Amino acid sequence: MRALLEQVTVLIGIACRGRPVAGVIHQPYYKDTGRTIYAIKGCGVHGIIPAPAQPKRVVVTTRSHLSQSVVDALDALKEKGLVDSVEKFGGAGYKVLKVLEGSAAYVFASQGCKKWDTCAVEAVLTAAGGQLTDISGRALCYDPSVQRNNTGGVLASAPWVLHKDFVSAIPQSLKDQLPEIAAKS
């Protein structure tokens, strides 16, 4: 039970002109005291020291929204030697914390992930030098008028890996299965 509680995060993201400019990830059940990690564009990350490059490339993905397209994408990445192992967790905030701690190289989320799941984590991750896009490498938009679901999927990467390698390794046929990407193809 404690392991699942540690995956709980409270996320607060602030976007301006459709892009995240600040984010807070609060992890209330971290150890005995909880912790808060935050970032403001141009001011760095606070509350955590991002880990240096790691020898293993671990992908963290959804525990509760695993679909066949996610499994197929992960299999394709393994075939190309971009993934050493896959771990499943709940919560977008927790998955990105795993990247910042050096426990993972990538986050691969399902299309069930919402904008309120990604705005704060994108602000924090990019302030640390990482990257977060849809699975085609396009920036997510946080304007009030956009759809709330991230229907193009979500791919987040640690600062020490090449995001574009991961994006290009996902087969176009899998990308085309996602509504947002299919509509723009």
Task: Please state the residue numbers annotated as binding site.
Answer: 117
**Is the Cβ–Cβ distance between 111 and 149 less than 8 Å?**
yes
Residues 2-40, buried b or exposed e (16+ Cβ, 10 A)?
eeeebbbbebebebeeebbbbbbbbbebbeeeeeebbbb
User: Beta partners for 23?
Assistant: 13, 39
Binding site residue list for Mg(2+): 117
Encoded tokens for 13: 């993201």
**Is the Cβ–Cβ distance between 25 and 9 less than 8 Å?**
yes
**C-alpha to C-alpha distance for 40 and 46, rounded to whole angstroms:** 9
